[in-house]
Chain A
Amino acid sequence: MKIAWKEIKKSKSRFIILGSIVFLVSLLTFIISGLANGLSQDNAALIKDMPEGQFYMDEDADETYNLSKINEDTQDKVLKDNKDAAALSIQMGFVNDADDKQQSVAFVTSTDSDLFESVGEGEIILDESLKEKGIKVGDTLTNNQFSDDFTVKGFVDQKKFSHSPVAYINMENYKEMYRVNEMQLLFVPDQDKAQTIDGLQAFSNKDFLDTIPSYSAEQLSLNMIVWFLVVISGMLFGIFFYMMNVQKIGLYGILKAVGVKTSYLFKMMWSQMILITLIALVFSVALSQGFAMFAPEGMPFHLTIETTVQLSVVFVIIGFIGATLSGIQIKKVEPLQAIQQGEV
Chain B
Amino acid sequence: MSVFTVDEVKKTFTNGEVQEQVLKGVNLSLKQGEITALVGASGSGKSTILTIAAGLQPASGGVIHFDGKNMTNMSQEEIRKIRATEFGFIFQSSHLVPFLTVEEQLVLMLDVSGTKMKKKEQKEEVEKILKLVGMDHRKDAYPASLSGGEKQRVAISRAIIHKPKMLFADEPTASLDSKRSKEVMMLIRDLTKTLHITTLMVTHEEEMLPYADHVVTMKDGLILEGA
A residues whose Cβ falls under 8 Å from a Cβ of B:
3, 6-7, 9-11, 250-251, 254-261, 264, 334-336, 338-339, 342-344
B97 touches A260 (CB 8 A): no
Contact of B95 among A7, A10, A259, A339 (CB under 8 A): A339
Given A339-B170, A343-B94, A258 contacting B99 (CB threshold 8 A): no
Q: Which among A259, A338, A339 has the greatest number of chain B C-beta atoms within 10 A?
A: A259
Residues of A within 8 A of B97 (CB): 3, 251, 254-255, 344
A259 in contact with B98 given A336-B57, A339-B51 (CB within 8 Å) = no
Partner of A258, one of B92, B93, B109, B170: B109
| B100 engages A6 (CB within 8 Å) | yes
B91's partner among A254, A256, A261, A334 (CB-CB below 8 A) is: A254
Residue count of chain B within 8 Å CB distance of chain A: 29
* A259 & B99 in contact (Cβ 8 Å cutoff): no
Cross-chain contact B108 with A3 (CB below 8 angstroms): yes
| Chain B residues near A343 (CB-CB < 8 A) | 93-95
In the docked arrangement, what's the CA distance between A257 and B169, Å?
13
CA gap between A343 and B158 in the complex, in Å: 16
Task: Give residues in B with beta carbon < 8 Å to A.
Answer: 51, 54, 56-57, 80-81, 83-85, 87, 89, 91-100, 104, 108-109, 112-113, 142, 158, 170
In the bound complex, residues from chain B placing their C-beta under 8 Å from that of A251 are 95, 97-98
Closest residue of chain B to A2 (Cβ to Cβ) is B104
Q: How many A-B residue pairs have CB under 8 A?
A: 67
Q: Are B80 and A261 in contact (CB under 8 A)?
A: yes
Option from B51, B94, B100, B142 in Cβ contact (under 8 Å) with A336:
B51
User: B83, A10: Cβ atoms under 8 Å?
Assistant: no
A-chain residues with CB within 8 Å of residue B98 when the two chains form the complex: 10, 251, 344
Contact B83 A339 (CB under 8 A): no
Q: Is the CB of B112 within 8 A of A259?
A: yes
Instruction: List the 10 closest A-B pairs by CB distance, nearest first.
Output: A259-B84, A10-B99, A259-B83, A254-B95, A343-B93, A7-B99, A336-B56, A342-B93, A335-B56, A260-B112
Known contacts A10-B98, A251-B98, A258 near B83 by CB under 8 Å = yes
* Contact call A258/B89, Cβ cutoff below 8 A: yes
Q: Which residue of B lies closest to A9 (CB)?
A: B99
A283 to B147, CA, bound (A): 42
Residues from chain B with Cβ under 8 Å of A334 in the complex: 57
> Measured between C-beta atoms, what is the minimum distance from B194 to chain A in Å?
22
- Residue in B81, B96, B99 whose Cβ sees the most chain A Cβ within 10 Å: B99
When the two chains form their complex, are residues A259 and B81 in contact, meaning their CB atoms are under 8 A apart? yes
Q: How far is the CB of B79 from chain A (nearest CB, A)?
A: 9
> Which of B56, B104, B142 lies in contact with A257, CB distance below 8 A?
B56
Within the complex, what minimum Cβ distance (angstroms) separates A334 from chain B? 8
CB distance from B22 to the nearest CB of A (A): 13
For the complex formed, measure the closest distance between the CB of A30 and the CB atoms of chain B, giving whole angstroms: 33
**Interchain CA distance A334-B76 in the complex, whole Å:** 12
Nearest CB on A from B91, distance (A) = 5
The smallest beta-carbon distance between B49 and chain A, in angstroms, is 13
By a CB distance below 8 angstroms, the chain A residues around B170 are 339
Closest residue on chain A to residue B100 by CB atoms: A6
Please measure, in the bound complex, the distance between the C-alpha atom of A257 and the C-alpha atom of B158, giving whole angstroms.
Answer: 13
A259→B86 CA distance, assembly (Å): 10
List 11 A–B pairs whose Cβ atoms lie within 8 Å, in order of A's numbering: A3-B108, A9-B99, A10-B142, A250-B95, A256-B80, A257-B83, A258-B83, A258-B84, A258-B89, A258-B109, A260-B112
- C-alpha gap A259/B83 in the complex (Å): 5
**B161 nearest CB across to chain A (Å):** 11
Quick check: A339 and B100 within 8 Å, CB to CB? no
In whole angstroms, what is the CA distance A257 to B98 when docked?
A: 16
- Closest-by-CB residue of B relative to A343 is B93
Q: Which residues of B contact A6 (CB under 8 A)?
A: 99-100, 104
Determine whether the beta carbon of A339 is less than 8 Å from that of B91.
yes
In whole angstroms, what is the CA distance A256 to B80 when docked?
8
B151's closest neighbor in chain A, by CB?
A: A343
| B113 cross-chain contacts in A, Cβ below 8 A | 259
- Contacts of B87 on A, CB cut-off 8 Å? 259
**Residues of chain A within 8 A of B81, CB atoms compared:** 259
Shortest distance between the CB of A340 and any CB in chain B (Å): 9
A115, B54: Cα distance in complex, Å: 78
A278 to B52, CA, bound (A): 44
Give the docked Cα–Cα distance between A254 and B142 (Å): 17
